[in-house]
Amino acid sequence: MKAYTDIEQSKKLAEILPIESADMYYRNNGIDAKLMWEHNTPEVKYPCWSLAVLLSILPDSIYNNTNEFSQLEFSKRSVAYHDINDGIKVGSIKDNLVDACYEVIIKLHKLNLL
């Protein structure tokens, strides 16, 4: 099971989320990137987000531009916000929950809902 964002996802999230929200980091030692929990070293290259932090970043509920309530729901492979009138407004089904959370965070950001 995937437990944290990969380097490409981490690069994209670093553009839209506060760096301080990352709970892990990829350290670049000149050869490869290694996942580290501590981030007080000069070799830090990219922040990294665990599944627990990704879930905490997602709001429990959102309001779309018509003020209709939407509620977060997730399963082992999917994340979705359901509108009470129209069904799913924002969602993703992936092979794992990290990828689904990542995709929904990107979608919410593009909609200015995160």
Q: SS in 3 state form for the chain?
A: CCCECCHHHHHHHHHHCCHHHCCEEEEECCCCEEEECCCCCCCEEEEECEHHHHHHHCCCEEECCCCCEEEEEECCCEEEEEECCCEEEEEEECCCHHHHHHHHHHHHHHCCCC
Strands 33-36 and 44-48: unpaired
Q: CA–CA separation, 95 vs 82, rounded Å?
A: 21
pLDDT recorded at residue 64:
65
pLDDT recorded at residue 94:
94
* Segment-wise mean pLDDT, segments of 10 residues, the chain, 114 residues: 90 92 74 51 72 94 72 89 75 94 94 84
pLDDT recorded at residue 68:
67
pTM over 0.85: no
Domain regions of the chain by residue span: 1-50, 58-114
Q: CA–CA separation, 103 vs 110, rounded Å?
A: 11
